[in-house]
Amino acid sequence: MDVTKLKFPVGKKDFISGSEKAKITLVEYGDYQCPYCGQAYPIVKKIQEKLGGDLRFVFRNFPLAEMHPHAMNSAEAAISAGEQGKFWQMHDSLYEHQNALDDKYLVQYAEELGLDTSKFKNDLRNHAYSSRVEEDFLSGVRSGVNGTPTFFINGIRHDGSFEFEPFLMVLKKML
């Protein structure tokens, strides 16, 4: 069996939800405009609830910009929000409003989250975090990611279903 491993371990640049001491680290390579990532989003939320402190979740950007014209700016918006301490809130807003990801909506979400919107707009206009998005993307390519969402469980790519019950079963086996 060919096992694909995560080539870049979770580190300081990653946006992480959960404890470093968690038994399971789930890394998702995702695209905010991808409909399959949109389907995975509430499932991951439910899994986070079910596994609690046993799960550490990491999101890495893998914008499929050729297919999704707003994917790159959305990824940059999430990182910009993250630099203001609101990555996960922006992450959630982007997935919860997947059909409204052009720049005016990104700014609206930033306002709703109470971000410094002039800094946020400046970050988007200057593509301040494009290199950070590209780093995530290349780390995904080097780890064998070729579509979204792609999940890694404790460093090993999960090639099975990400439907709630089967995915939860796989994760629980890691405990």
pLDDT at 158 over 90: yes
What phi and psi, each to the nearest 5 degrees, are found at residue 116? -70, 100
pLDDT category at 3 given cuts 50, 70, 90 is: low
Per-residue pLDDT reduced to its tens digit, 165-174: 999 999 999 9
Q: How far is CA 10 from CA 7, 32, 107, 136, 169, in A?
A: 10, 20, 29, 11, 23
In the chain, the percentage of residues whose pLDDT exceeds 90 is 98
pLDDT of res. 1? 45
Range 15-173 has CATH code 3.20.20.70: no
Q: What is the CA radius of gyration of the chain?
A: 16
Per-residue pLDDT reduced to its tens digit, 22-37: 999 999 999 999 999 9
pLDDT of res. 58? 98
H/E stretch holding 159 reads none
Which pair of structure tokens corresponds to residue 1? Answer: 């069996």
| Residue 42: other Cβ atoms inside 10 A | 12
pLDDT at 2 over 60: no
| Nearest alpha carbon to residue 94 among 114, 116, 72 | 72
Mean pLDDT (the chain) is 96
